[in-house]
Amino acid sequence: MKFKKSQKLYEKGLKNLVGAVNSPVRAFSSVGGNPLFIKKAKGTKITDVDGNEYVDLVLSYGPMILGHRHKKVQKGVDKALKKGYSFGASTEAEIKLAKIVCDAFPGMDKVRFVNSGTEAVLSAVRLARAFTGKDKIIKFSGCYHGHQDSLLVAAGSGLATLSMPGSKGVPEGAVKNTLIANYNDLDSVKAHFKKHKDIAGVIIEPIAGNMGVVIPENNFLVELKAYLETQGALLIADEVMTGFRSKFGGAQELLGVEADITCLGKVIGGGFPVGAYGAREEIMQEVAPLGGMYQAGTLSGNPIAMAGGIATLTELKKQDPYKKFEEIGSIIEVILLETAKKYNVALTVNRFGSMLNPFFVNSEVTNFVEAQLSDTKKFAVFFWEMIKNGVFLPPSQFEAWFLSSALSDKDIKIIAEAVDKAMEKVSKM
């Protein structure tokens, strides 16, 4: 397999782009080598500029849940493109997507569209503060909520991959109202409430995907929500990754919790830049123009992005692939575990529906500390062997792999063969 053209573009890209990438997770710093440049994608496959074809388990970090360029989505977007790109005024498409989203999440009476997950979360945090009149926010170590200043502490994948404790350029003042708790540890949340009176809410990835996949234990979320109610604090569910992926109604539907504020992104744009935050009526009343919390966006509710979202969610609802995700997900999980056993490689696989990833460690992974015990050198070898055998994975131990509803038995066979080669190579380290 040759990467000559990718290599050339990488060198060219270095001149005017930072590290030749526009998001650091796309850099190959933790696996070595240089990033691949992509030419096109269709269905379950993605093709790089050298013509190498891969089964894509990155799926743009989640949005391409139907696979690439699904014909219904293509049709919806093509139709919208012919009418204009952006108006700075309202369109019917926004109302349509809002209805789909609010119908799926019972805790959302109203929604506001923005342009990314980061924007959704930073607005949701502002809203929690506006509604409660309190300043402090608790986040969990290893959860990532976008790159806004106040939540860029103990923030999982991108930072863990680069071994950065937080980020330069974030002033102390910006994080002084951020408190850190441990995932799956309600006592660590309670300890903060005992110490601080002005906690507006707790933000969580209801199924964590940014420290690798980490699953909430037993009734963790239900108990967390019940506890927060006793404290007059809000639960902010960051479902940017899990919304419409773990279930049509997100992790909340699956786990039987209703958050006060929900953040969405990724899948709701079907590959176009869309984020959203929403809540019950009484909370959303705070948002301008109804209330005093200001939040705006020139391209928010962009008609092309809305068309991509409407087409994706409509098709997703029709396909209802969640049972299929569970089946394929468990097949891939078993492939990973059995192959690791065959080659005597220590491996733990965390999976929730269509999000999964292996950790090269023989102990269970229930939080960020345990995730970091994984042998990232083994992951790097595994990663490159998967690439060479036609499977595109996120270039980091701490990113989830994503499945699309387009995956076929043939794709699974390719994955199984690649896993065999990759595990064998890891066993020889």
Ligand X SMILES: *Cc1c(COP(=O)(O)O)cnc(C)c1O
Binding site for ligand X (CB under 6 A): 116-118, 121, 144-146, 205, 209-210, 238, 240-241, 265, 275
Question: Least distance (Å) from ligand X to the CB of residue 205?
Answer: 5
Question: Least distance (Å) from ligand X to the CB of residue 391?
Answer: 21
238 counts as catalytic: yes
For residue 123, what are its two tokens?
A: 């607005």
By beta-carbon proximity to ligand X, the closer residue of 35 and 146 is 146
By beta-carbon proximity to ligand X, the closer residue of 170 and 416 is 170
By beta-carbon proximity to ligand X, the closer residue of 43 and 265 is 265
Question: Least distance (Å) from ligand X to the CB of residue 273?
Answer: 7
Q: What region does 199 belong to: left with phi over 0, alpha with psi -120 to 50, or beta?
A: beta
Question: Least distance (Å) from ligand X to the CB of residue 156?
Answer: 9
By beta-carbon proximity to ligand X, the closer residue of 241 and 310 is 241
Residue 139 β-bridge partners: 180, 203
What three-state secondary structure class fits 261?
strand
For the four alpha carbons of 275, 281, 284 and 289, in that order, the dihedral sign comes to positive
By beta-carbon proximity to ligand X, the closer residue of 181 and 335 is 181
By beta-carbon proximity to ligand X, the closer residue of 143 and 335 is 143
Residue type, 83: K
Q: In 10 A of CB 284, how many CB atoms? A: 21
144 counts as catalytic: yes
By beta-carbon proximity to ligand X, the closer residue of 193 and 402 is 402
Q: In 10 A of CB 140, how many CB atoms? A: 25
For residue 218, what are its two tokens?
A: 């037993």
Question: Least distance (Å) from ligand X to the CB of residue 285?
Answer: 25
Q: Identify how many contiguous H helices and E strands the chain contains and give both numbers.
A: 15, 14
Q: Which of 10, 54, 61, 144 is catalytic?
A: 144
Question: Least distance (Å) from ligand X to the CB of residue 401?
Answer: 13
For the four alpha carbons of 98, 268, 145 and 221, in that order, the dihedral sign comes to positive
What three-state secondary structure class fits 31?
coil
DSSP string computed for 167-206: -TT--HHHHTTEEEE-TT-HHHHHHHHHH-S-EEEEEE-S
Cβ atoms of 139 and 181 within 8 Å: the answer is yes
Question: Least distance (Å) from ligand X to the CB of residue 425?
Answer: 30
Residue at shortest CB range from ligand X:
117
Give the C-alpha separation, 14 to 225, whole Å.
46
By beta-carbon proximity to ligand X, the closer residue of 43 and 146 is 146
Sheet of strand 38-42, all strands in order from the earlier edge strand to the far edge: 38-42, 45-48, 53-56, 391-392
Q: What share of the chain is helix, strand, coil (3-state, %, to 5)?
A: 45, 15, 40
Q: Which of 134, 247, 266, 378 is catalytic?
A: 266
Residue type, 171: P
Question: Least distance (Å) from ligand X to the CB of residue 247?
Answer: 16
Buried b / exposed e along 380-416 (16+ C-beta atoms within 10 A)? bbbbbbbbbbbbbbbbbbbbbbbbbbbbeeebbebbb
377 counts as catalytic: no
Q: Which of 48, 238, 375, 411 is catalytic?
A: 238
By annotation, the residues acting in catalysis are 144, 238, 266
